[in-house]
Structure 1
Amino acid sequence: MTLRLHGIPNCDTVKRARAWLTGQGLAHDFVDFKKAGASAADLQRWADAVGWERLLNRQGTTWRRLDPALQAEVVDAASALRLMQAQTSTIKRPVIEWPDGAVTVGFSPEAWGARCAAVTAR
């Protein structure tokens, strides 16, 4: 499996993550949420791996601009996944699918360095 990074190209965190991977010499596929969307199966797999609460970006502009009634409807995994599929900007970025099958959300050079060392040691 190839390292796959999911996100939005103009997101600063995604830009930093992509630059870090390139700087480490790590090849990766980039999947643009805006163009490709996020399938229900992908969202379910990611939520199973990290939890829907971590996957849902409640700090972002898209969430803050949602109608409060729509925000209030997000009470469990099913409602969160429906929202994330309809509005991919509510997915925390980046979502990484690592070659070992693990899924992580967000960018941390320290955590990624340790994960990359573990993956390449195999």
Structure 2
Amino acid sequence: MKVLFLQYPPCSTCKNAKKWLDAHGVDYDSRNIKEENPNADELTEWIAKSGLPIKRFFNTSGILYKEKHLKDLLPDMSEKEQISLLSTEGMLVKRPLVIGENFVLTGFKEEEWEKYLGK
């Protein structure tokens, strides 16, 4: 099973996640989320596949999220508007993201990763 690993290389959580993937022998394609931001179609598919609320795809602790006051703005936006916003800037997207055939993982939570990616 090969997964897509979206990450921002300088991010310490992403570095730890990459080490975990390597240590567990997970086959993955890596993509820099800042250089190659997910587009609206990808995000729409991943959000649907994940079964998670769209808020889980926002990097709520990021500088950009806070600068844009998204905590206050998002509740008044449609899902389509939120996805469109996410697709404009990789730093708004929660990272790391792991996209598998029938799952999507947001952030790095070892227990969750073990469940889906452990061997």
Secondary structure of 1:35 counterpart: coil
What's the offset of the Cα at 1:71? 5.8
What TM-score do the two structures reach when normalised by structure 2? Answer: 0.84
For the residue of structure 1 that corresponds to 2:6, the secondary structure is: strand
Alignment of 1:87 with 2:92, yes or no, is no
The one-letter code matched in structure 2 to 1:80 is Q
Task: Give TM-score scaled by structure 1 length.
Answer: 0.82
TM-aligned CA deviation for residue 72 of structure 1:
4.2
Whichever of the two has the greater Rg, that structure is 1
C-alpha root-mean-square deviation of aligned residues, in Å? 1.8
Alignment check: 8 A CA contact 2:35 2:90 kept = no
Shift of 1:76: 2.8
CA distance in 1, matches of 2:85, 2:108: 23
Which stretch of structure 1 is more off in the superposition, 53-62 or 89-98? Answer: 53-62
Change (3 A) 1:78 1:87: same
Residue equivalent to 1:29: 29
What is the identity, as a one-letter code, of the residue corresponding to 2:57?
L
1:107 aligns to what SS in structure 2?
A: coil
Aligned residues: 115
2:89 counterpart letter in structure 1 = Q
Distance 2:16 2:84 in 1: 28
Gaps of 5+ in 1: none
Distance 1:22 1:29 in 2: 12
Give the drift of 1:95: 1.1
In 2: Cα distance, 1:72 partner to 1:87 partner: 18
Assess if the C-alpha contact under 8 Å between 2:105 and 2:113 holds in 1.
no
> What is the percentage of aligned positions where both structures have the same residue?
23
* Higher helix residue share: 1
1:93 corresponds to which letter in structure 2? R
Q: Secondary structure at the match of 1:3?
A: strand
Equivalent position SS for 1:43: helix
1:105 aligns with 2:114: no
- Runs of 4+ more than 3 Å apart: 70-73
In the alignment, structure 2 segments of 5+ residues that lack a partner are none
1:63 maps to 2:78: no
